[in-house]
Structure 1
Amino acid sequence: MLGNAEMVARLVLAGAMGSVIGFERERLLWAAGLRTHMLVCVGACLFMIVSAFGFSDVLGQKNVTLDPSRIAAQVVSGIGFLGAGTILLRGEVVKGLTTAASLWAVAAIGLAVGGGLYVAGIAATILVVGILAGVKPIEESWRDRMRTHTLQLTVKAGSLSIDTLQDATGERASRVRQFVVRPGAEEGLEEVTIAFVRLSQTSVAAIAERLRENPAVVKVRLGSDR
């Protein structure tokens, strides 16, 4: 039977590991933050302790056989209701998948600590925090580069040509996906739409600044589409 001090230590350690991951979510103001992750991790740890050691007093009785993993196994499927609660459909965009996955991982960490697998629990905590905090800038940079960015220009009629655009974009001219010229709302002006692919917003903004220096350009507006 597990001693009282060891049980308390496992619960405290699980709460601490959950707080490390929860703090990263709290910092981004997600619904499932510090307290939620701590509670999930401590709860999973307690389930594991109960599953593995809570029925030791009846194991010695005749014809009594228990599976020590039966309660812990329910945590894996039971945590799904919390994960589903963090996934929201806003318009046509699904939000909260990463937070749901972090809750699922925290539950696994709690089970590991409850089972006495301290090294596995600590290693998993470090990995999860690294994935949540370290990979996010890389992911955002990649998404930014894959997004379609547009420039809306108001120019003097007949003044903006492909050659002028190539001078402004330089080596990034190959990233121009679309170049559309329409009559402007006022006489003598044209509306030009330029779409770029696989180009960061910073690079598109730099191109916009160069186009603003052209005396034929009246107005430049920057936009983006996912």
Structure 2
Amino acid sequence: MGLSVLAGGLIGVERQWRKKLAGVRTMVLVSLGATIFVSLSSMVASDTSPTRIAAQVVSGIGFLAGGIILRDGFSVKGLNTAATLWCTAAVGTVIGAGYIQEGFFAALMIMLVNSVIRFLSQRFDQFAEGYRTESLEKNTNSFLIITGKRSSEVALRTEVINQLDRYVLSFCHFVCQDLAENRIQLQVEIEPAANADLAVKEIVTQLSKNNHVLEVFHLAEEGETW
């Protein structure tokens, strides 16, 4: 049991150093508790298998891990801590079953994942964010020109806005001009986005099928304004 306390403490030190929700004490208790449960199977005279006890530990630790996970708006916190709790329980069960070396190796691997992989994950996020920013800087505004009947102005405006919302696009200008023969022309300037070009082409396809639309086309010329 002392070895399970040591293994759980190694994992908990890294968690507490980063000021996570579960620190040294929590990891030690999880590891020790799992070891006690699995050790029970070897203490009784019946043919109870350690794997049966381990299966119950896996189920029980899910409730503890679930209490760590918090939702803050659209973000979820505590997933890594909950996963670490789950892995710590696994370390305790392995040590409790008598596999000391394997248990400590697993504890070291958990520490490695929480430190080194965390660094690589942050680097990847920085690279991805830089790539998205560079892509947006290269893109220019797109222009959508829709011609329809004056009596259908409200329906046309609504349909265009719905299509933009569908593809998560934003516009910076939305102008309506009167034309001859009771026609109007909607001119929409769409802000740059990573998927803007393909999305606008799909919007043109959808609008061309609309009965209120007489003509629709797409411009993507840099620096063009109204």
TM norm structure 2: 0.58
State TM-score, norm by structure 1.
0.58
Contact kept, 8 Å, 1:176 with 1:195, in 2: the verdict is: no
Question: In the superposition, relative to structure 1, how do residues 148 and 90 fare at CA in structure 2: closer, same or farther (>3 Å)?
Answer: farther
- Per-residue displacement from partner, 1:101-122 (whole Å, max 9, x unpaired)? 1111100100011111011101
* Structure 1 residue aligned with 2:62: 80
1:96 alignment partner in structure 2: 78
Question: Structure 2 CA distance, aligned partners of 1:24 and 1:80?
Answer: 21
Equivalent of 1:14, from 4, 7, 11?
A: 4
Rg larger for: 2
Query: CA RMSD, aligned part only?
Result: 2.9
Identity of aligned residues (%): 36
Q: CA deviation at 1:72?
A: 2.6
The answer (yes or no) to whether the contact 1:22–1:37 under 8 Å persists in 2 is: yes
Kindly tell me: are residues 143 and 112 of structure 1, through their superposed partners in 2, closer, same or farther at Cα, counting changes over 3 Å?
same
Gaps of 5+ in 2: 142-171, 173-190, 195-226
Give the CA deviation at 1:51: 2.2
Shift of 1:175: 6.9
CA drift of 1:80 comes to 0.2
In structure 2, C-alpha distance between the alignment counterparts of 1:102 and 1:42, rounded to whole Å:
15
Q: Check if 1:69 corresponds to 2:51.
A: yes
Deviations 1:142-199 (A, max 9, x none): 0111126899xxxxxxxxxxxxxxxxxxxx7x6734456x8xxxxxxxxxx9989xxx
Aligned residue among 143, 148, 161 for 2:125: 143
Count of residue pairs the alignment pairs up: 149
Matched, 1:131 2:113: yes
Change (3 A) 1:44 1:38: same
CA distance in 1, matches of 2:82, 2:58: 13
The counterpart of 1:176, out of the listed 129, 132, 137, is 137
Q: Is the counterpart of residue 119 in structure 1 residue 96 in structure 2?
A: no
Q: Return closer, same or farther for 1:41/1:96 CA change in 2, 3 Å cut-off.
A: same
Counterpart residue type for residue 12 of structure 1: G
Distance in 1 separating the partners of 2:17 and 2:50: 37
Equivalent residues of 2:5, 2:29 under 8 A apart: yes
User: Aligned AA for 1:131?
Assistant: V
1:109 aligns with 2:91: yes
Where 2:67 maps in the other structure, the secondary structure is helix
